[in-house]
Structure 1
Amino acid sequence: MTPVAPSPALVELAHAHGVATEFVDWKGTHTVIADGALRSVLAALGVPTDSEESVTAALAEVEDRPWRRTLPATVVCREGWTPWVRAHVPHGAAVSLTLELEDGSVREVPQVERWVHPRTIDGREVGEATFELPGDVPTGWHRLVAHLDGPAVADGTGVATLVVTPERLELPEVLRHGGVTGLMTQIYQVRSAGSWGLGDLGDLGELASWAASDLGADFVLINPLHAAEPVAPMEPSPYLPTTRRFVNPVYLRIEDIPELVRLDEAARERVAELAAGVQALNTADTIDRDAAWAAKREALGLVHAVGLEGRRARDFDRFCEREGEGLATFATWCALAERHGLPWSQWPSEYHDPESPAVAEFTAAHTALVGFHMWLQWLLDRQLGEVQREAKDAGMSLGVVHDLAVGVHPRGADSWGLAHALARGVTVGAPPDQFNQLGQNWSQPPWHPERLAELGYAPFRDMVRTVLRDSGGIRVDHIIGLFRLWWIPEGLTPADGTYVTYDHEALIGILCLEAQRAGAVVIGEDLGVVPANAREYLSERGVLGTSIMWFETTDEGPIPPEDYRELCLSSVTTHDLPPTAGFLTLEHVDIRERLGLLTRPVEEERAQEEQSIATMREALVARGWLEEGAGLPSVIEAMHRWLGHTPSAMLAVSLADVVGDRRAINQPGTDDEYPNWRIPLAGPDERPVSLEEVLESELAPVLFEATRGD
């Protein structure tokens, strides 16, 4: 059936709410978004479109909405800017505006001499007064307060959040004087003899210390550590967390918890039994998160039971106070999940609303269990801080660089605790492209752009702060999602979605503000289809881009290393591709053929990829970095040498390349068809490689020297 084209009024309404009505796909084809898809996306935004009359009324509401509030919910601007703020009051009423800075001081905001005709809203006249913010407001989180001599146009709308962001995020000192080289890995893959079935924060500390002292690495970039489900089955993808604000306790190193020594003999023996049971999985070919968490959950329960004393108890109290309601809500969700299972939509209905009396009663009746999950987050905070200190003490200039996933699980903690900030009836994904020709559905509910602004961007701020704490930087997966996201209505395919725009000035500004306060670098993963001028905008704000050598090509061949971007993190490969040895042997083609993900004959796909590899080899030979007919190790070394001659501020070597791994950790666009995120680090023979073996790697110094251009 031919899709129905949208009416002009529907197109206008879509544009008014930042919904794209057309786009150009990866093949250059102009595509018009179908009527049904537009109506579904607008419905997810809370815009009624069930008839042409409702579309007309919704268009009128776009014009009237600002006049229904005294002040806008949030104002975001850069330092030095002097934006106008419009206040709406009953026509003829007097209004003044004060600025409450986060340091507690208060300033008057001058009014601008500007006449605006009143507007009739719901049968009454509403006037507009204009104020100009001074240009010397410091960066930070402030408040604007309206003072009226009579009733407001709407209760609760007389206070606005004011966020003043830096004009540009200044690079850390080390990046201002030449580039840095580091390691990147999926830490759960890196198992040591002391791991409980998967790599943990103890392993991360050891890896970072070795990389700094033996390889001269300045950072280690890891996968998102966001929290997953507290009960089985645990979602294996670190990019589909239950929340992005808190951390997965499966990464805790049990032996590093000080209270462990206070266990009685029976409890200590039980912890030792649990450890031995899952340490037997350290050589397994598949990572079993459920088994690892079951053992750690029991051990942690035993340690928690001994309690905290002295300064540790006081530190925990301070942590809970700092994290506030968000921590309590998440811990309550975890406790409810342990008692009632998942998904939360199948809980008794009285528990569906986190603010309901029933949830409050549950919390009061289960204070120990809720407190346990708060305690886990405190332990993670302490251990993450220690890992960062160890990395810096070992010589890393940046230390650990964390990864921020695009979104959250549709039935996770945030879909319960932050339901008011998320859109319903849609998921996030990506349209078809060269590497995922059917498109991708990431099964994640997107931020609702208007509600996020109404909340003063607090959920976004709190999430970013947590990830940035005790880190040298943050990599933002699919940073273009702060400009626009591909929304897919429920029941439709990824090819049937459309783009919805976000206030990138606000979101990226807040990201830069929080990174500046943390002294961290921000790296945006800006691969794939990118809106016009997005990369230029990110560079202007001091946000690094991302370059993957396989993608840096033109019709003439690989882009010369000298032409790479300077403000960029560059690497040979990424977690969405096989390790370099696998790519060179067409592992990615074989996977997609087996899974039926190709949209053209495999012979054609294979021939094109073989030509790309041949072209890469030729370019390496022409530079004198590779001999004709050289084997895989030489090609991989030469590709890293190519990176070493780029001007990029940050260069990353994949740990999978260090050990000669060939298997892809992830095949985008699949779920159970492929063991995504469950494959341990392995050598060329697919035998799992331990952290102890990594530390003895002979290839690691070779690749690091090549990447530095030595």
Structure 2
Amino acid sequence: MPAAQPAEPPAEDLPEDLTRLAALHGVATSYRPAPDRTVPATATAVTLALAALGVDASTPGAVRAALAAREAELRERLLPPTVVRWDGGGTPAALAALPAGTRLRVETERGEYRDGVDGLAHGVHRLTATAPDGRTAQAHLIVAPARLPAPAPAGRSYGLLVQLYSLLSRRSWGMGDLGDLGELAAWAGRSLGAGFVQVNPLHAAVPGAPTDPSPYRPSSRRFPDPVHLRIEDVPEFAYVTDPERARTLRERAGRLREGVLEKDALIDRDAVWELKRDALGLLNEVPLGPGRRAAYCDYLAEQGTALEDHATWCALAEVHGSDWHRWPEGLRDPRSADTDRARRELMDRVDFHSRLTWLTDTQLTAAQRTAREAGMPVGIVHDLAVGVHPRGADSWAQQEYFAAGMSVGAPPDAFNSRGQDWGLPPWRPDRLAASGYAPFRGLLRGLFRYAGALRVDHVMGLFRLWWVPEGRPPTEGTYVHHDAEAMLAVLVLEAHRAGAVVIGEDLGTVEPGVREALRERGVLGTSVLWFERDWTGDGRPLPPERWRADCLATATTHDLPSTAARLTGEHVELRDRLGLLTRPLEEERAEAAADTAEWLDVLTRLGLLHGTGGDTGTSAEEAEIQAVHRFLLRTPARMAGIWLPDAVGDRRPQNLPGTWDQYPNWRLPVADAEGRPVTLEDLAASPRLHALIDVVSDAARDAARRRGGDRDG
């Protein structure tokens, strides 16, 4: 573990009343950056977090009044806003605590009425409790399966991980698109035997000049971004009324694509969107046929107000810019008369953006269907970002659910002594609970329309998030807790309804009990080779048999060096060139080399590092990458992922945390060891990729035989 210790704010004794008030609202008054250390939160952090929850704690008198009001509220209420009932879990504590003789009446999701809570179908129902003294209360009742089933097949599934924008084909318009995703899934499923393809978040981005390229700071998590559309796959493209203009668009697309495929070129998302927006405007002039019109109308009806709000924001952003805080005051409220008037005036553009969202949804659904038809038991694994951009569509349309003046981040720890501020507004736990988690349910239901599995970024956020007050450093934040049981119940319920797998990204500092709670509900974790060490013992690499089974095991992620860069030490050289090292270069080199040597020694001792050179035609680097993946398949992990750039020796990380304009984050096409972009067609013909897949396939079969032998024995 790194020796550096986090900088701590000065110790501060919080008044007892403030501590009690904070606890009653789920606001932490301390945190633990390490198991043996507790750091107190500042009174300012706690007070500002409470203020964002609508609680005045600005003076001692205000604290006493708020505490008395909260205690009285909790003492007198019959039910909390949301109650969870798990299959086979017995009576929820909130119901068991009701006075004897309390009558329970349920209005189900289908509008049926029932007495009592036994035998209810899965769903989110409306519960009314009437006590013998005449008091009544209503609550949302979430009835959820006890756990999600393990991914099929029961033994092991391996697949590919890729940032979709980085995967260009000879048909792409300057960045990877949903047509490329379908092609990748069909090829990987049919020719490689892959069980899934995991991609980056495809959420709608905030338009700008330039657009923020990070897929983890979206405008909306509820709706996808039409920049991912394959234009030629839209049926109306065949019927455009201006073929000369269509030909010109194709020529522009060809030049854009060829430019990106030059060595050291970058993906220009804004140029891609400008081109596709022109093409989609042309397509919008083509009337939908009766069947297509009916399907579009069904989509509009199903998505309802959420889609109308999203499309309205997109239309208003075209007129007033993408930061809704700077719009005319009347338009900052999605429910105002001014907004309603503007929506009517811009109805053509609102319909245009609604139609683009529908087109994107249809291509996402087609990609998942293609993956399953290719034999993938899981299919496409989509990624749910931890939050949304403070200036985007979701923060405008759902602003009552966001904590004003707060940003999500991470506290100081041994890896980052200054903490982190991610610039994402957090949801208010109190208002989520009061709504029966309606925004969260809608978000998940939208994603599960076309996902075989969902990766939840920073899954610990279901339990608590580090809130950083606006204008303050991350060191002056504090944790605010969600009702984790309710958040998990919603996630399990919606995934179960979709028949989908859930993977939680649980890397880094994880609160005790979180991984256990996720495992109990069937949510898989994430294990990355270089981090899997015996941290409670000698710190050496964790033997494969000691890895957890309920996880997705990988060699790297989009935020980490590629395997080739780590094995060669090039990731250290990159950070040195960018001025990111906190220690002398030689110290960093030595530590990285020692870490790599230790892992290579493990691979050698296990007989996983096979010969190189001679008749094998395999370089030392390729052999080591193959050995790393043999190791992953030696673990009991239910899913194993291959970072697609690793298959061709790419040296460059897609994202280098701690950088902004110093490094081209989120803009690099998949490339070979020399930095030459590699198209999807090149990948399909790559001997290096096929050699790695052969290794993975053989390792998977060997692992299956070993498991079979263990069962027989």
- TM-score > 0.5 by shorter chain: yes
Task: Note the C-alpha offset of 1:189.
Answer: 0.2
Tell me the equivalent position of 1:702. Answer: 691
Task: Note the C-alpha offset of 1:383.
Answer: 0.6
Question: What letter matches 2:219 in structure 1?
Answer: T
CA distance in structure 2 between the aligned counterparts of 1:438 and 1:150, rounded to whole angstroms: 54
Question: Which region of structure 1 is more displaced relative to structure 2, 525-534 or 230-239?
Answer: 230-239
1:278 aligned to 234, 244, 256, which one?
Answer: 256
Tell me the equivalent position of 1:40. Answer: 48
Tell me the equivalent position of 2:194. Answer: 217
Contact 1:240 1:408 in 2 (8 A): yes
Tell me the equivalent position of 1:168. Answer: 147
Tell me the equivalent position of 1:128. Answer: none
Q: State the Cα deviation string for residues 578-637 of structure 1 (Å, max 9, x = none).
A: 110112233443344444444444433332222111111111111122269982211111
CA distance in structure 2 between the aligned counterparts of 1:10 and 1:461, rounded to whole angstroms: 33
Task: Note the C-alpha offset of 1:159.
Answer: 4.2
Tell me the equivalent position of 2:616. Answer: none
Matched, 1:562 2:526: no
2:447 aligned to 451, 467, 475, which one?
Answer: 467
Tell me the equivalent position of 1:633. Answer: 622
Tell me the equivalent position of 1:199. Answer: 176
Tell me the equivalent position of 1:82. Answer: 91
Change (3 A) 1:442 1:396: same
Matched, 1:25 2:2: no
2:657 aligned to 668, 679, 703, which one?
Answer: 668
Task: Note the C-alpha offset of 1:488.
Answer: 1.4
Matched, 1:415 2:392: no
Q: State the Cα deviation string for residues 507-536 of structure 1 (Å, max 9, x = none).
A: 111111111110111111111111112111
Question: What letter matches 1:203 in structure 2?
Answer: D
Contact 1:440 1:668 in 2 (8 A): no
- State TM-score, norm by structure 1: 0.90
* SS class of match (1:680): coil
CA distance in structure 2 between the aligned counterparts of 1:102 and 1:628, rounded to whole angstroms: 61
2:206 aligned to 229, 245, 250, which one?
Answer: 229
Task: Note the C-alpha offset of 1:37.
Answer: 2.0
Question: Which region of structure 1 is more displaced relative to structure 2, 214-223 or 463-472?
Answer: 463-472
Question: What letter matches 2:434 in structure 1?
Answer: E
Matched, 1:578 2:561: yes
Matched, 1:60 2:33: no
CA distance in structure 2 between the aligned counterparts of 1:84 and 1:538, rounded to whole angstroms: 20
CA distance in structure 1 between the aligned counterparts of 2:648 and 2:281, rounded to whole angstroms: 36
Contact 1:195 1:282 in 2 (8 A): no
Question: What letter matches 1:283 in structure 2?
Answer: L
Question: What letter matches 2:111 in structure 1?
Answer: G
Question: What letter matches 1:51 in structure 2?
Answer: T
CA distance in structure 2 between the aligned counterparts of 1:687 and 1:27, rounded to whole angstroms: 45
Tell me the equivalent position of 1:8. Answer: 16
Task: Summarize the alignment of residues 254-293 of structure 1 with structure 2, pairs less than 5 Å apart.
Answer: 254-264=231-241, 265-284=243-262, 285-293=265-273
Question: Which region of structure 1 is more displaced relative to structure 2, 506-515 or 663-672?
Answer: 663-672
Change (3 A) 1:597 1:553: same
CA distance in structure 2 between the aligned counterparts of 1:290 and 1:268, rounded to whole angstroms: 20
Matched, 1:681 2:658: no
* SS class of match (1:550): helix
Question: Which region of structure 1 is more displaced relative to structure 2, 386-395 or 64-73?
Answer: 64-73
Change (3 A) 1:150 1:294: farther
RMSD (CA atoms): 2.5
Q: State the Cα deviation string for residues 155-189 of structure 1 (Å, max 9, x = none).
A: xxx543221111111124x232x111111100100
The number of equivalent residue pairs is 677
Change (3 A) 1:309 1:66: farther
Change (3 A) 1:95 1:568: closer
* SS class of match (2:479): strand
CA distance in structure 1 between the aligned counterparts of 2:52 and 2:583, rounded to whole angstroms: 34
Contact 1:71 1:160 in 2 (8 A): yes
Change (3 A) 1:450 1:682: same
Tell me the equivalent position of 1:610. Answer: 593
Contact 2:161 2:197 in 1 (8 A): yes
* SS class of match (1:25): strand
Change (3 A) 1:704 1:562: farther
Question: Which region of structure 1 is more displaced relative to structure 2, 438-447 or 515-524?
Answer: 438-447
Change (3 A) 1:304 1:25: same
Structure with the larger RCO, 1 or 2 (CA within 8 Å, 6+ apart): 2
Tell me the equivalent position of 1:552. Answer: 532
Change (3 A) 1:70 1:559: closer
Change (3 A) 1:277 1:307: farther
Q: State the Cα deviation string for residues 550-573 of structure 1 (Å, max 9, x = none).
A: 000133421111111111110111
* SS class of match (1:475): strand
Question: What letter matches 1:608 in structure 2?
Answer: E
Tell me the equivalent position of 1:116. Answer: none
Question: What letter matches 1:702 in structure 2?
Answer: A
CA distance in structure 1 between the aligned counterparts of 2:362 and 2:215, rounded to whole angstroms: 21
Q: State the Cα deviation string for residues 656-704 of structure 1 (Å, max 9, x = none).
A: 1011101111122333332211111111111211111111121223323
Tell me the equivalent position of 2:185. Answer: 208
CA distance in structure 2 between the aligned counterparts of 1:357 and 1:49, rounded to whole angstroms: 34
Question: Which region of structure 1 is more displaced relative to structure 2, 393-402 or 627-636?
Answer: 627-636
Contact 1:71 1:88 in 2 (8 A): no
Question: Which region of structure 1 is more displaced relative to structure 2, 246-255 or 600-609?
Answer: 600-609
Change (3 A) 1:693 1:433: farther
CA distance in structure 1 between the aligned counterparts of 2:583 and 2:430, rounded to whole angstroms: 41
Question: Which region of structure 1 is more displaced relative to structure 2, 25-34 or 632-641?
Answer: 25-34
2:487 aligned to 507, 532, 537, which one?
Answer: 507
Q: State the Cα deviation string for residues 330-355 of structure 1 (Å, max 9, x = none).
A: 00000000111121111111100000
Question: What letter matches 2:91 in structure 1?
Answer: T
Contact 2:33 2:414 in 1 (8 A): no
CA distance in structure 2 between the aligned counterparts of 1:193 and 1:492, rounded to whole angstroms: 47
Contact 2:469 2:477 in 1 (8 A): yes
Tell me the equivalent position of 1:238. Answer: 215
Task: Summarize the alignment of residues 421-570 of structure 1 with structure 2, pairs less than 5 Å apart.
Answer: 421-433=401-413, 435-554=415-534, 555-570=538-553
Contact 2:647 2:692 in 1 (8 A): yes
Tell me the equivalent position of 1:107. Answer: 114
CA distance in structure 2 between the aligned counterparts of 1:305 and 1:151, rounded to whole angstroms: 61
Contact 2:610 2:627 in 1 (8 A): no
Contact 2:12 2:40 in 1 (8 A): no
Q: State the Cα deviation string for residues 65-108 of structure 1 (Å, max 9, x = none).
A: 3467675432222124323657999x9xx985421122333112
Tell me the equivalent position of 1:129. Answer: none
Task: Note the C-alpha offset of 1:412.
Answer: 0.9
Matched, 1:653 2:632: no
Task: Summarize the alignment of residues 359-438 of structure 1 with structure 2, pairs less than 5 Å apart.
Answer: 359-433=339-413, 435-438=415-418
Contact 2:160 2:198 in 1 (8 A): yes
CA distance in structure 2 between the aligned counterparts of 1:484 and 1:86, rounded to whole angstroms: 25
Task: Note the C-alpha offset of 1:143.
Answer: 1.3
Tell me the equivalent position of 2:706. Answer: none
CA distance in structure 2 between the aligned counterparts of 1:582 and 1:29, rounded to whole angstroms: 34
* SS class of match (1:403): strand
CA distance in structure 1 between the aligned counterparts of 2:583 and 2:22, rounded to whole angstroms: 34
Task: Note the C-alpha offset of 1:205.
Answer: 0.8
* SS class of match (1:64): helix
CA distance in structure 1 between the aligned counterparts of 2:506 and 2:24, rounded to whole angstroms: 26
Identity %: 48
Change (3 A) 1:243 1:53: same
Change (3 A) 1:189 1:325: same
